Each structure stands twice: as structure tokens, then as C-alpha cells.
Chains A and B, each alone.
Chain A
């Protein structure tokens, strides 16, 4: 870890901290990345057997958790969907496995979990239809409170779009304050490459900056 200029800490290998804590492969056992590469060749039945033994607990646990999002909790369904996940891994000459990029140690665990979760979401989307995408609006006409809130959002966003605030910091601010994500959840987004402390540091700094700007009447 190294401290960034803004007080955030750059992170190396999110999976080590947040998504998963991969165990070191015992001596003589291939790394998960190597195993994935082997399985991209669909002739390797032994590699596939090792793959299933090694990753099945993670895949099934992810499938079970995602199914519960939809209010289901049936063992047969999780078995069927776990099998679907492996067929997805092997489809199109194992396209999913071939596309994996080992960007940091342990990235493979988070990747496999996301693919497993996607299979479950796709299953329910096709089962429940497009209606699941549409949550009804509470009220199409914005009330006074909402209008004021939207004006506040706009004023703050205007401030956040000014230099020296980076686009990444603006994204973090809104993920936290508008989308309600915790610092830990934001830090789980490996694309941001930040630790939990790094995310918190961005939020505290922007929070202060906005308050100062509003107190001094700097906002437009």
C-alpha cells in the first residue's frame, strides 16, 4: 500500500482484502489463474475436475446468496443454477475463461463470483420478465421537497465538477451519498483501486470542501 497525495491509499489486489481471501495454493498445486488457463482448453477433463473441486463451494455459495435476493431458497434451484454457471464457463469454447485478465493476485475469485451472480440474475430476468426492471415511481410529479433536493444535488454537482476535483472522486461522492453505498462497498469496486480508508478519505475531503463552499456562498 502506498499513500496517495489526497490521503487515499492505493490498493494492490482488492481480492486479498475485500472480495475474497484466497488461500495460498499448497506446494505443487497450480495457482487459480493457471487452473483457469488450463480449463480454457476444453479437452482438459482433469483440469475441469480440479476446477470444480476447488471453486464449487464459492460458486454454490454465490448462487445461493444471489437467489435469496429474489426471495427464493430452494436447494434444487441452486443446484441447477450452479450447473448453469459451469456451462456458462465452458460455452463458446470457454470464452468467459479466455477473457479473464489477471489484473491483480486473487482477481479470479471475484471474477468467478460475478459470472455466477450474473447467471442467476439472467435466470430470474428471463423468468420474471422485463417487469422486474421497472419499479413503479412513487410519484411522477416532484413535490417541493424533491425539487429542493434535486436543486441541492445540482449545486453540489456543479462544485464537484470544478478542478481540482477528479471525476473519480465525484463518482465516489455520489456512490456514497446518493446511491447509499458504504465505503467498504465502494472499495470493493476494484476498478477504483482504493482501500476502504482511501474511499473514506475522499468522502471526508469532499464533504469539508462542499460545506466550506456553501458557507462562503461560493456555489453558483
Chain B
């Protein structure tokens, strides 16, 4: 290309000068895996994924930099000096090469030989066990079981007044803060976290796993991380009421005034989508009560009790309702009724 074509024209000059001065290479949670990004070079990605990554890299200064550096490094053949270094490398020596090949082949043999020695005689049984094992593993690592684990972890040491989906009622036990020790973490939470890490690594943009990651962080007292993850899950699946439930809960748990007002909004959005979801109704009522919206709180607790009148949660809801009514009828000024956002 002629230099004039790149530099000619004030507009394009301003564009380039601005890029030099104001590009902000900063990695964000929406950035793709850098190893995948580099696979754009040898064209190993399916067209749909390649297109998605290119669109991102064109607009993201972090990924654009990763791609530019990779193209610089990999589009030029090795220099004479690099070839010389390769000629002196350890693996240029035939003995070292043989040792490495032996190691690679042995690794495979180590994996394979016990099957022949011990398992082949019972091949049918092994196949059955394997099939069972694979199914068990798939189930144990799946999102439904992980959700169950999180619910059990919550019930075991209920860390907050707000509910998480699927959890049985129990007494609020401890107040966990950010950075609380993982030594006191329920085993179920550790198991869930391990499933989540594995799944997120394989599917970083899966909204269900992002939601579970957010919920696990919430139970671990890491509200800021939870909010980021749940915001992203919501952006990927905006019509999911259960994500709004977790997001609203995380905002509430951050426990600042702005967070509580926003929490109430998110939970109300969730209730609009799932008007009879007990956990959403419960958390919405609690958010209203704690945000000092007493009229809203009264209405919401009454609504909750129409949906659930018998569980341990219902008993707790009745106590909250009594408290709200006492405040409305009793001492102190009654705050004005807050308009609903919907």
C-alpha cells in the first residue's frame, strides 16, 4: 500500500493518532480464550467461531494486541539466528530425542497396559462399569447436580437472610465476609466450585454455568465477583428469572444503599417473569423491607404467604410480616409509599 493512502486525509490521520494515544488494552471477562484467538492464524476454527473472535478482536484493544503480537511472531519464518539456536537445542541431540519419544510412548503404554493385564478378562463387566461411571460422572459434574450442591451448602450453613433456589429452610447461622477461609467452606460448596471451574474453563460463555459461578461466589461471601458473573449471565440470557433472582440477591448482599435499591429492581423484574416463584417473592419482600419500603414489604410478604403458607420459609415470612405491620402501625414516621419501577 502506498504511504499516502494510509496517511492521507485528516480524518484517517486523526483515527490513527487517536488509536496510538487512547487504546486501552485491558482484559475483560468477555474476552475469549487467548489460545483460541491465536488459532485464527492457521485457520483452524470453524467459520462461525472465527467470525465471532475476529469481531471481538477488532474492537477489543486487549485481544487486538494479543492477535497482533501473535501475527507478528508467527507470520515470519524463523530467522537464521533462531535456526542456529534450534540446532544447538537439547532436542537436536538424537539421544535426547529418543528419551523424549520413549517418554511419550511409555506414557501411553502406562495408560493402556493395565487394561490388558487386568481388565480384558472381564471386558463386558468393565464396559458396563465404564458406561455407568461415565454416566455418573456426567451427572455428578452437570449443572443440575451442581445446583443441588449449592442448595445443600446453603441449607447446611445458611449464610444470609435471602434465599437461593431449591434450598430447604434453615436458621441463618453465620455472617461470612469476603475472603472468609475456605477451611470453613461446606464440602458441598467445594464440590460445586470444582464442577464450576471445570465447566467454565470448557464453556466460558455458558450463562447457566456463569450463574452457578455467581451463586457459588455469593455463598462464599464474594459479592463483587458474584455480581460481575451474574451481570454477564443476565446479558447472555436476559429473560431468565432465576438469574435475576441470584443477581438481585448478590446486589442486596453487597449491602450498600444503592445496591439494595437496585436489588429490589432486579428482583421485581424477576417476579414479573415468574410471578409465583417462592424464592423470588421471598427475596423481593425482604429487599423491600430492608430498603425501608414498608408498604411494598407488607404487600410482598402477603403475596408470598398466598403462594407458600406451610413451610419453614412461610413461618419466617409471617414473622417478617408482623414486624413490618408493627412498624407501619406503631412508633416512628411512616415512610412514603415507594413507587414500583414497573
CB–CB B43/A180 < 8 A: no
Contact pattern, A 128-155, Cβ under 8 Å of B = 1, otherwise 0: 0000011101100010011011101100
What's the interface size class on B, roughly?
A: 35 or more
Contact pattern, A 119-134, Cβ under 8 Å of B = 1, otherwise 0: 0011000000000011
The answer for the CA separation of A56 and B45 in the assembled complex, in Å, is 25
Query: Which residues 68-95 in A have Cβ within 8 Å of B in the complex?
Result: 69, 75, 78-79, 82-83, 86-87, 90, 93
B12 to chain A: which residues have CB within 8 Å? 177, 207, 210-211
CB–CB B87/A57 < 8 A: yes
The answer for the CA separation of A149 and B14 in the assembled complex, in Å, is 7
**Residue A178 at the chain B interface, CB threshold 8 Å:** yes
B39 to chain A: which residues have CB within 8 Å? 111, 114
Per the CB 8 Å criterion, the residue count for chain A at the interface is 91
The answer, among A114, A121, A134, for a CB contact under 8 Å with B42, is: A114
Contact pattern, A 192-217, Cβ under 8 Å of B = 1, otherwise 0: 11000000100110010011001000
CB–CB B75/A171 < 8 A: no
Closest CB of chain B to A53's CB: distance in Å? 7
Given A60-B85, A60-B86, A61-B82, residue A48 in contact with residue B71 (CB < 8 A):
no
**Residue B234 at the chain A interface, CB threshold 8 Å:** no
Given A52-B101, A135-B25, residue A61 in contact with residue B44 (CB < 8 A):
no
Given A49-B98, A203-B1, residue A149 in contact with residue B107 (CB < 8 A):
no
State the main secondary structure of chain A at its contact with B.
Answer: helix
**Residue B92 at the chain A interface, CB threshold 8 Å:** yes
Given A79-B90, A149-B18, A179-B67, residue A174 in contact with residue B75 (CB < 8 A):
no
CB–CB A177/B101 < 8 A: no
B20 to chain A: which residues have CB within 8 Å? 180
**Residue B228 at the chain A interface, CB threshold 8 Å:** no
B105 to chain A: which residues have CB within 8 Å? 42-43, 45, 48
Could you pull out 24 A-B pairs where Cβ atoms are within 8 angstroms?
A15-B42, A19-B41, A42-B108, A52-B91, A59-B86, A60-B92, A65-B73, A86-B100, A103-B44, A110-B43, A114-B38, A117-B38, A150-B22, A152-B14, A153-B15, A168-B51, A179-B57, A179-B68, A180-B68, A181-B71, A185-B71, A186-B71, A191-B43, A203-B5
Chain B residues with CB under 8 Å of chain A are 1, 5-6, 9, 11-12, 14-16, 18-27, 34-35, 38-45, 47, 50-51, 54-55, 57-59, 61-62, 64-65, 67-75, 77-79, 82-83, 85-92, 97-98, 100-105, 107-108, 111
